[in-house]
Structure 1
Amino acid sequence: MSPTASSPTVLPPPHRPARPSAEHLSALLSAAFHDDALTRWMIPDERSRAHLLPGFFSVFVELSAAHDAILTTPDGDAVLLFLPPGAAPDEEALDAAFTHALGEHTERLRTIARLQAERHPHTPHYYVSFGAVRPGHQKSGLMSGLLAEITARADAERVGAYTEASSPGGEATTRRTGFDRLGADITLPDNGPALRPMWRNPR
Structure 2
Amino acid sequence: MSTIESPPRGVPRRPARPDTDDLAALLAAAFHDDPLTRWIIPDGRRRAELLPGLFRIFVEVSHDYDGVAVSPCGDAVMLFLPPGASKQVDERAEELERRFAEALGEYAEPLGTIVRLQAERHPAEPDHYYASFGAVRPSRQRNGLLSVLLQELIDRADRDGCPAYAEASSPGGEALCLRQDFVRLGDDIVLPDGGPSLRPMWRDPR
Gaps in structure 1 of 5+ consecutive residues = 1-13
Structure 1 position 127, deviation (Å): 0.6
Normalised to the residue count of structure 2, the TM-score between the two structures is 0.88
**One of 195, 200, 203 as aligned partner of 1:197:** 200
Greater Cα offset, 177-186 or 76-85:
177-186
Matches of 1:69 and 1:60, distance apart in 2: 10
Matches of 1:67 and 1:121, distance apart in 2: 19
Structure 1 position 136, deviation (Å): 2.3
Map of 2:53 onto structure 1: 55
Map of 1:28 onto structure 2: 26
Quick check: which has more Rg, 1 or 2?
1
Matches of 1:96 and 1:122, distance apart in 2: 24
Matches of 1:66 and 1:29, distance apart in 2: 18
Gaps in structure 2 of 5+ consecutive residues = 8-12
Map of 1:108 onto structure 2: 110
Matched, 1:97 2:99: yes
Aligned-residue Cα RMSD (Å) equals 1.5
Structure 1 position 181, deviation (Å): 1.0
Structure 1 position 18, deviation (Å): 7.1
Map of 2:137 onto structure 1: 134
SS in 2 for 1:164: strand
* Greater share of helix: 2
Normalised to the residue count of structure 1, the TM-score between the two structures is 0.90
Map of 1:4 onto structure 2: none
Matches of 2:171 and 2:76, distance apart in 1: 18
Greater Cα offset, 171-180 or 56-65:
171-180
Matched-pair identity in %: 59
Are the equivalent residues in 1 in contact too, given 2:82–2:129 (CA < 8 A)? yes
Matches of 2:95 and 2:73, distance apart in 1: 32
Are the equivalent residues in 2 in contact too, given 1:144–1:176 (CA < 8 A)? no
Structure 1 position 176, deviation (Å): 1.3
Map of 1:3 onto structure 2: none
